[in-house]
Structure 1
Amino acid sequence: MTGLPEYRNGGLLFDLGVLSLKPGALAPSFYPDPASNIPRLLPSHPAIIEWRAMTVIELDRIANAIRAKLGLRREQLTLAQVLESATWKGGREIAKQKRPATGGPPIEIESDGTVF
C-alpha cells in the first residue's frame, strides 16, 4: 500500500519543516495574496511534483519509525492506521494552528479536486 500525497499528509511535513521549498523556487507571481505567504500552483508544477513524491517517501519512513519505536510489525500497525491516526489527523490539527482562518494547506493547488 502506498500513502496518498494529499495536502494533509504533505502539509504536515511542510508545516513541521520536514519538507520545504527550495530558496527561490517560486516567483512572487505564485503568491496571489502576499500577506498570506501561501503559494498557488498547478498540479504539474515541479514544486508540487516533488512535494507529492517526497510525501510518499516520508510517510513510509514515519510508519517505519513508529513501528520501530513501538516494537510492532507491519501487520500489527498498518500504513493506513498511521495515516489515519497520525499524519492525516496531525496535518489537520497543525493546519488549524498555522492557518486558523482556513485550516487549509500550506501550498494551494489549482485543481478541480481530481488531484489530492
Structure 2
Amino acid sequence: MRGWWGWLLLSVATLHTLEHTYLMWRFQATLRELGALGITDFQPQGLPGFFGRDGWLATADITQNSFLCRLPGITTAPRIDVHFWWNIIEMTFLLPAANSFAQRVRAARIVA
C-alpha cells in the first residue's frame, strides 16, 4: 500500500512499535529488580510507556521544568487511554491507505 497514507501509517505504526519495545524493556527491567529483591511470584502490569501518566515524557530528567512534562493528556492520561489513542491514530491512516490501494487495484483491473 504505497502512497502518502501508507507512509503515514508506517510512521505511526513504527512509533507505536517503539512504544511497545520500551514497555517490554521496562517490564523486563522491573522483573529483574523484583527478582533481585527476592520477589518471584509477581508480574508487573500496566507500566507506563513514553506517554501518559508517569511515562517517560512526564518523568524524564531531560523534560523536567519544560512544557513537555505538563502536556494535558499526553503526560496525564492512563496507559490504557494512551494505547486506545495509538490504535485510533493507526486506524485513521489505515482506512484511507487501504481505500487508496483498493482504488488503484480496481483501476488497474478495469484498464487491463
Q: TM-score, normalised by structure 2?
A: 0.37
Larger relative contact order (C-alpha < 8 A, sep ≥ 6)?
Answer: 1
Q: Specify the structure having the higher radius of gyration (Cα).
A: 2
More helix per residue = 2
